[in-house]
């Protein structure tokens, strides 16, 4: 299976998935720490992929998502964005309803 196909399968299998550096419990960059904090604040369960442990995914994901940096949050297979976008959407009240709808 090609890496891009693997990513597409992960997006199908997980309604909410965060591609990040490290894990939610042990993020390995400040932006990933911010993204994990936003997800914890939302109270919604999510899947994650540590791109530092998956270099092929780290290399291929920006081409699949057309989003150049990490972390990357996807809801229902659609790219939402990185930690700054996630924080802004949480603050505006936009993010949690999207997450809850996807997690049902």
Binding-site residues for [2Fe-2S] cluster sit at: 29
22 vs 28: CA distance, rounded Å: 5
The span from the CA of 99 to the CA of 18, in Å, is 12
Annotated binding site: 29
∠ CA 8-11-16, rounded to 5°: 165
Alpha helices, DSSP H only, in the chain?
A: 3-13, 30-42, 55-65, 83-92, 95-103
Question: Residues 41, 24: contact at Cβ < 8 Å?
Answer: no
């Amino acid at each position: 299976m090609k890496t891009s196909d693997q990513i597409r399968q992960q997006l199908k299998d997980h309604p909410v998935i965060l591609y990040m550096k490290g894990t939610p419990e042990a993020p390995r960059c400040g932006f990933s720490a911010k993204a994990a904090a936003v997800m914890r604040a939302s109270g919604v369960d999510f899947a994650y992929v540590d791109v530092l442990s998956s270099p092929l995914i780290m290399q291929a994901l920006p081409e699949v998502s057309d989003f150049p940096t990490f972390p990357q949050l996807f809801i229902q297979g659609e790219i939402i964005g990185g930690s700054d976008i996630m924080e802004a959407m949480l603050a505006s009240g936009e993010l949690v309803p999207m997450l809850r709808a996807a997690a049902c």
